[in-house]
Amino acid sequence: MGIEEQGGQKTAGADKVAPATGKLGVMVVGLGAVATTFIAGVEAVRRGLAKPIGSLTQMGTIRLGKRTENKSPLIKDFVPLAGLNDLVFTGWDIFEDNVYESAAHAQVLEKEMLDQLKPYLETIKPLPAVFDQYYVKRLHGTHVKKGKNKRDLADQVIADIREFKKTVDRVVMIWCASTEIFIEPTAVHQSIAAFEKGLENDDIGIAPSQIYAYAALSEGVPFANGAPNLTVDAPAMVELSKKNAAPICGKDFKTGQTMMKTVLAPAFKARMLGVSGWFSTNILGNRDGEVLDDPESFKTKEESKLGSLDYIFQPELYPDLYKDLYHKIRINYYPPRGDQKEAWDNIDIFGWLGYPMQIKVNFLCRDSILAAPIALDLVLFMDLAKRAPSLRSIGIQEWLSFYLKSPQSAPGLYPEHDLFIQSMKLKNTLRHIMGAGLITHLGLEYYD
Ligand SMILES: NC(=O)c1ccc[n+]([C@@H]2O[C@H](COP(=O)([O-])OP(=O)(O)OC[C@H]3O[C@@H](n4cnc5c(N)ncnc54)[C@H](O)[C@@H]3O)[C@@H](O)[C@H]2O)c1
C-alpha cells in the first residue's frame, strides 16, 4: 500500500517500536582510522564543535504523505533513535593505544580538534583482541587474548560483552577492524551446532571476526560488518541471528569509489547506454592500505568491490549493452597519501549505433571521513532494528544495503546495489515500522 495514490494510509505491518531509553553501548571491533574518526566525531558533535555531515540519521529528512502535504520531519524525529548523548563506546584492538593515541596515529582529524577531545578519547582503552596473524598477514598484534581454543576465546568476548552490559541499557557491535583473508563458508559454517563444534576443534575456517560475531549474536547483540570479510555471510550466523533476535548486516562500508559506481551505473542502465570497460584504480597509504597490500586480504576486498556492476547491469537481460564489460579494480598502497585516498575510474561507454565515449572520474576523498557517518548510522539503525518487532528476528537487515558495498541478502536473492533503490528501500522500511504509508512515486492522484 503506498502513498502518491494512498495518502497517509497506515501499512498493515505497523510495529510497536520500543523507545530508545537509556544508554546505548557501542562495542567497536578495531579502534583504527574509521573507528576513531567515528568516536571522535560523535564527541565533537556532542560538544557542538562540528556538524554530523554525511549522516542520514542526524541530518536526513523523510517525506510522509502526499507531496502537497509538505511533511518532511527529520528521520531522528520520526523514528525512535538513540541520541548521540546516550552513546557509550568501548572496543577491542590488537594494539594498546587508547582512542586518542590511535586517532593521532591515523592522522585523519586535525591535531587542534583532537586535542580538544583528548580527555574524553583517552578514557577509551581497547580490550585485548581476538587475533591470529594467519587471517591478517600484515599485522603483528601484541594486545591479544590467549585461550585454549576458539571456544575459550569466544567465551572471553562474551564475558567482555556481559561486563559492558552492566553499564548500559542496550548494546550493538560493529566490525571496524582490518580486512581478513578471503575465506568462504565451509561445512563448519552451515549450522550453529557445526560452528560450535568448530570452535571447540579450532577449525581453521573460523576467522577471528566470526568469533566476535558469534559472541555478539549469542548475547542477542546486533552485529554490523564494515569490512569485506564474509563474517556473518554464513548459514550458522543467520540462524543464530534469527534465534536470538540479534540483527546482522554487512558487508564493507560503501564510501568512495563504489558509492560513485552505484550512482553512475544505474544511470547508464536507466538510459540504455552500453558499457564496454570500467577500470578502477586507487592509491591509499593508511593501515588499511597496508593490510590490503597483502594479496589474500586484497582478494577479500576485490570480491566485495567487483559484485556491484554485474548486479546492476544484469548482462543476462541486456547482452547487447553489458555482456562484454571488462571490469578491473586495483588498490595500491602508497604511504605518502595516508588516509587521503585518490581513486580514478575510466569508464568506456557506448551510445546510439554503438558510438564509443569515455567518462573519467577522479575522486580525491578522505576514506575515514566518508566511513565514520556510515558507522554511526549503522549503529543507530541496528539498535532500532533490535527494538522493532518486524525486524529484530528476520536476521539480515537488507534495508541497510544503502551503506554497504557488498550487501548481504537472503539466500537465492540477488543483492540490490543501486544507491537510489537502496535509499528508497531504507526510507520505506522506516515508514513501514512506524505505520506510515509507503511512497511509490506513482502520483497519478495529482492529475485526477
Ligand atoms: N575507510 C573506508 O572508507 C572503508 C570503506 C570500506 C571498508 N573499510 C574497512 O573498514 C576497516 C577499517 O578500516 P580502517 O581504515 O579503520 O583500518 P585501520 O587499519 O586503521 O583500523 C583497523 C584496526 O583494526 C585492528 N584490528 C585488526 N584485527 C583485529 C582484531 N582481530 N580484533 C581487534 N582489532 C583488530 C587494527 O589493529 C587496526 O587498529 C577495514 O577492514 C577496511 O577495509 C573502510
**Protein residue with its CA nearest to atom 17 in ligand 1:** 288
The phi and psi torsions of 393 (rounded to 5 degrees) equal -110, 15
**356 class by beta-carbon count within 10 Å (0-12 exposed, 13-18 middle, 19+ buried):** exposed
Task: State the Rg of the chain over Cα.
Answer: 22
Mutate-to-test residue for ligand 1 from 125, 150, 288, 301, highest number of ligand atoms within 8 A of CB: 288
Find all residues with CB under 8 Å of 96, minimum gap 6, and list them.
125, 126, 142, 143
Mutate-to-test residue for ligand 1 from 27, 34, 223, highest number of ligand atoms within 8 A of CB: 34
Can you read off the three cell numbers belonging to residue 97? 593505544
Which residues share a beta bridge with 174?
28, 224
Task: Give the DSSP H or E segment for 360.
Answer: strand 356-364
Cβ–Cβ < 8 Å for 308, 258: yes
Q: What's the CA gap between 56 and 84, in Å, rounded? A: 13
Q: What's the CA gap between 127 and 157, in Å, rounded? A: 9
Quick count: other Cβ atoms within 10 Å of Cβ 360?
A: 8
CA 286 – ligand 1 centroid, Å: 10
The predicted-structure confidence for 285-320, as pLDDT tens digits, reads as follows 887 788 878 887 888 777 777 788 889 999 999 999
Nearest to 331 by CA among 416, 273, 405: 405
- The predicted model scores a pTM of 0.95
- Residue 292 or 210, more confident: 210
Which ligand 1 atom sits closest to the C-alpha of 339?
A: 15
pLDDT at 4: 57
pLDDT at 43: 98
Residue 25 pLDDT > 80, yes or no? Answer: yes
Ligand 1 proximity of 29 Cβ (cutoff 6 Å): yes
Ligand 1 proximity of 233 Cβ (cutoff 6 Å): no
- One-letter amino acid of 55: S
The predicted-structure confidence for 360-381, as pLDDT tens digits, reads as follows 999 999 999 999 999 999 999 9
